[in-house]
Chains A and B, each alone.
Chain A
Amino acid sequence: MGVVPEIHASRLLAKTVVDNRGRRLGRVTEIFVQLGKEELPPVVALQVQASSWLWRGPLPFRLVPWRCVQVLVRQYLSLSVGIDSLPPVATPPSPPPPVPSEWLPVRRTLFDKQIVDLNGLRVVRVNDVKFTEIGDTLRLVAVDVGLRGLLRRLGLRPLVHFAESHFGLRLPDTLIRWQDVQRIELEGNGRLHLGVPYERLARLRPADLADILEALHTRERTALLGALDPAVAAETLTEVEPEAREQMLARLTPEHVLRLLQSLSPDDAAAILSELRADRATALLGAMHPEQGEQVRALLEYPEDTAGRFMSTDFMAFPRQMTADETIATLRRLRPPAEEAYYLYVIDDERHLLGTVSLRDLVIAPPEQPLGEIMHPNPVAVRATDDRRTVGELLAKYDLLALPVIDEDGRLVGVVALSEHADEIFRPARRGWWRS
Chain B
Amino acid sequence: MSTGRSNARWVGRLSTRRFSLQRLLIILSVIGPGLITANADNDAGGVTTYATVGATFGYEMIWGLILVTISLIVIQEMAARLGTVTGRGLADLIREEFGVKPAFLAMLTLLVANLATTASEFAGMAASLEIFGVARWITIPLMAIVVWVSVTTGSYRRLERIFLAVSLAFVTYIISGFLIRPEWPTVLRHAVVPSFRWDTHFLLLFVGMVGTTITPWMQFYLQASVVDKGLTAQDLRYVRWDVTLGSLWSDLVAFFIIVDTAATLFPHGIQITQAGDAARALEPFAGHYASVLFASGLFAASFLGAAILPLSTAYAISEAFGFERSVNRAWREAPIFFWLFTSILGIGALLPLIPRISLVKLMLFAQDVNGFLLPVILLFMLRLVNNHRLMGPHTNGPIYNLIVWATVLMIVGLTCALLAGSFLPGLLAGGK
Q: Which residues of chain A have a CB within 8 Å of any CB of chain B?
A: 111-114, 124-125, 127, 145, 150, 153-155, 188, 214, 217-219, 241, 243, 246-248, 250-251, 277-279, 281-282, 285-286, 294-295, 297-298, 300-301, 313, 413, 429-436
Contact = CB atoms under 8 A, between A and B. Distances in A.
B87 interface: yes
Nearest to B26: A277
B138 interface: no
B395 to A, nearest CB: 15
24 contacts: A114-B322, A125-B321, A125-B322, A155-B101, A218-B230, A219-B86, A219-B88, A247-B228, A248-B230, A250-B232, A277-B25, A278-B17, A278-B18, A279-B22, A279-B25, A294-B4, A298-B2, A300-B10, A301-B7, A431-B157, A433-B152, A433-B153, A433-B154, A434-B151
B315 interface: yes
B154 A429 contact: yes
Interface of B: 1-2, 4, 6-7, 10-11, 14-15, 17-18, 22, 25-26, 29, 36, 86-88, 92, 95-96, 99-101, 103-104, 151-154, 156-157, 160, 225, 227-232, 308, 311, 315, 321-322, 326-328, 389
A243 B327 CA distance: 11
A282 B228 CA distance: 24
Contacts of B151: 433-434
A153 B99 CA distance: 9
A217 B87 contact: yes
Given A218-B87, A282-B18, A434-B315, A154 B104 contact: yes
A241 B230 CA distance: 13
B92 A217 contact: yes
B99 A436 contact: no
Nearest to A156: B104
B10 A297 contact: yes
Contacts of A295: 1
Nearest to A308: B2
Contacts of B315: 434
Contact of B96 (A112, A154, A277): A112
B17 A298 contact: no
B319 to A, nearest CB: 9
B15 A243 contact: no
Contacts of A247: 228-230
A150 B92 contact: no
B95 A278 contact: no
Given A282-B18, A294-B7, A298-B2, A127 B100 contact: yes
B225 A436 contact: yes
Given A282-B11, A436-B36, A125 B22 contact: no
A150 B317 CA distance: 13
A284 to B, nearest CB: 11
B101 A154 contact: yes
A285 B25 contact: no
A349 to B, nearest CB: 15
A182 to B, nearest CB: 16
B18 A125 contact: no
Given A112-B100, A282-B14, A301-B2, A432 B327 contact: yes
A145 B232 contact: no
Contacts of A127: 100, 322
Contact of B230 (A112, A251, A297, A431): A251
Kindly list the 6 A-B residue pairs having the minimum CB-CB distance in the complex, ordered from nearest.
A125-B322, A247-B230, A218-B87, A298-B2, A433-B154, A153-B100
A218 B2 contact: no
A154 B103 CA distance: 10
Nearest to B221: A436
Contacts of A435: 228
A286 B8 CA distance: 11
A282 B19 CA distance: 13
A182 B156 CA distance: 37
